[in-house]
Amino acid sequence: MRNDLRQRREERAWTQAQLADRLDVSRQTVNALETGRYDPSLPLAFRIAALFEAPIEAIFEPDGADLDVRR
C-alpha cells in the first residue's frame, strides 16, 4: 500500500518521533508505515486520517497487488 505519510509529516515539520507520539505508536512503526513495510490497522488508519484531517483514501492508496480480487 502506498501512502503520502512522510510528505504530510514533513509539511508540518514533525519528526517521526513526534508523529509517533501523536499517534501513540513507536517511531519504528512510523518508519515502517512511511517506507511501505507495514500497512496500518484500520483503527490506526482512522487515527492517522483524523490527525491529518483527511479521508483515509487521501493518505493511503492500494497498489496493484492490493487490488487483486479473485472470484
Q: For 26-36, how does the pLDDT look when each residue is reduced to its tens digit (9 = 90+)?
A: 999 999 999 99
At residue 17, the 3 state secondary structure works out as helix
pLDDT band of residue 66 (cuts 50, 70, 90) is low
* 29 located within any domain: yes
Q: Into how many domains does the chain fold?
A: 1
Q: Which domain holds residue 32?
A: 2-54
Supply the CATH number for residue 30's domain. 1.10.260.40
Tell me how many degrees the CA angle 61-66-70 measures, rounded to the nearest 5: 145
**Would 23 be classed as within a structural domain?**
yes
Count other Cβ atoms within 10 Å, centred on residue 60: 19
pLDDT reported for residue 32:
98
Within-domain flag for 67: no
Cα distances (Å, whole numbers) of residue 28 to 15, 20, 24, 67: 12, 8, 12, 27
Looking at residue 51, its amino acid is L
49 in any annotated domain = yes
Q: Residues 3-34: pLDDT tens digits? A: 999 999 999 999 999 999 999 999 999 999 99
Cα–Cα distance for residue pair 57/2, rounded to 1 Å = 10
With respect to residue 66, please indicate whether it lies within any of the assigned structural domains.
no
